[in-house]
Amino acid sequence: MSEQARNFLEWLSGAPLRVICVLVGVWVARAIGNRAITRAVGRLATADLKRGPGTTKRQAERARTTGSVLSSILNAAIWIIGIGMILGEFGFNLGPVIASAGVIGVAIGLGAQTLVRDVISGIFMLIEDQYGVGDKIKVLAVEGIVEKVGLRITTVRDADGTLWYVRNGEILLLGNGSQN
């Protein structure tokens, strides 16, 4: 084997191989986590936790909503960790970044107030069970069926087929035609 080929294989078995391993690990972790969330949400949706007319359907919708939020949180956390590991492989010193997380948190809190407001509103919306996937709602100037609920954005499809993206922090008044 030539010296050039040996150097290439030596280089390839270093950082690029570790980056590929991190990406494979991220993919596997996402697949396992999303499968676990899907199975848990499926079991929760079919369990009869609260008795009464129409509560089983509502519970299934709420379980799907919670599942989509948990999947979003899981994917974000896994990718943040994976990107940090990849940056570490390229020689970036992550110690100062991690140490300054408090300062970054304050800056984000002050600079991205609308993002924080959207996320906090999304959390309270889920806790209070204001609406879920499949509900017919009227919010702002949009009336339609909720297709996806996230911590930051809710997607609603109206009667014309238009998909609307509504920031949770902008929802001040909401009508839900699906709840009793």
Instruction: Report the CATH number at residue 92.
Output: 1.10.287
Does 119 lie in the same domain as 31?
no
Does 158 lie in the same domain as 119?
yes
Q: What is the pLDDT of residue 48?
A: 66
Does 180 lie in the same domain as 139?
yes
The string over 143-174, giving b where at least 16 C-beta atoms fall within 10 Å of a residue's C-beta and e elsewhere, is ebbbebbbbbbbbbeeeeeeebebbbbebeee
Q: What is the 3-state secondary structure (H, E, C) of 68-108?
A: HHHHHHHHHHHHHHHHHHHHHHCCCCCHHHHHCHHHHHHHH
Percent of all residues in the chain with a pLDDT value above 70, rounded to a whole number: 93
The mean of the pLDDT values for the chain is 83
Cα separation, 158 vs 155, whole angstroms: 10
Cα separation, 99 vs 106, whole angstroms: 13
Among 96, 115, 130, the domain-final residue is 96
Does 56 lie in the same domain as 106?
no
* pLDDT tens digits, one per residue of 126-144: 777 788 888 899 998 899 9
Number of domains in the chain: 2
Q: What is the pLDDT of residue 103?
A: 76
Does 87 lie in the same domain as 12?
yes
Q: What is the 3-state secondary structure (H, E, C) of 123-138?
A: HHHHHHCCCCCCCEEE
Q: Assign residue 91 a region: left if phi > 0, alpha if psi is -120 to 50, beta otherwise?
A: left
Beta carbons within 8 Å of 145's beta carbon, 6+ residues apart: 134, 135, 136, 137, 156, 157
Lateral strand order in the sheet of 174-176? 163-167, 153-158, 142-149, 136-139, 174-176
Higher pLDDT, 140 or 5: 140
Q: Does residue 180 carry a pLDDT above 70?
A: no
Among 96, 115, 138, the domain-final residue is 96
* 8 Å CB contact between 136 and 57: no
Range of weakest confidence among 84-88, 98-102, 128-132: 98-102
Q: Does residue 52 carry a pLDDT above 60?
A: no
Average pLDDT over residues 73-88: 89
Does 176 lie in the same domain as 109?
yes
Does 2 lie in the same domain as 87?
yes
Q: Which residues pair with 17 in a beta bridge?
A: none
Q: What is the pLDDT of residue 53?
A: 56
Instruction: Look up the pTM and report it.
Output: 0.57
Average pLDDT over residues 164-180: 88
Average pLDDT over residues 106-125: 80
Amino acid at site 159: A
Average pLDDT over residues 48-63: 67
Amino acid at site 144: G
Among 43, 64, 96, the domain-final residue is 96
Q: Does residue 97 carry a pLDDT above 60?
A: yes
CATH number of the domain within which 109 lies: 2.30.30.60
Does 55 lie in the same domain as 15?
yes
Does 139 lie in the same domain as 67?
no
Range of the domain at 5: 1-96
Structure tokens of 55?
């509560």
Higher pLDDT, 156 or 73: 156
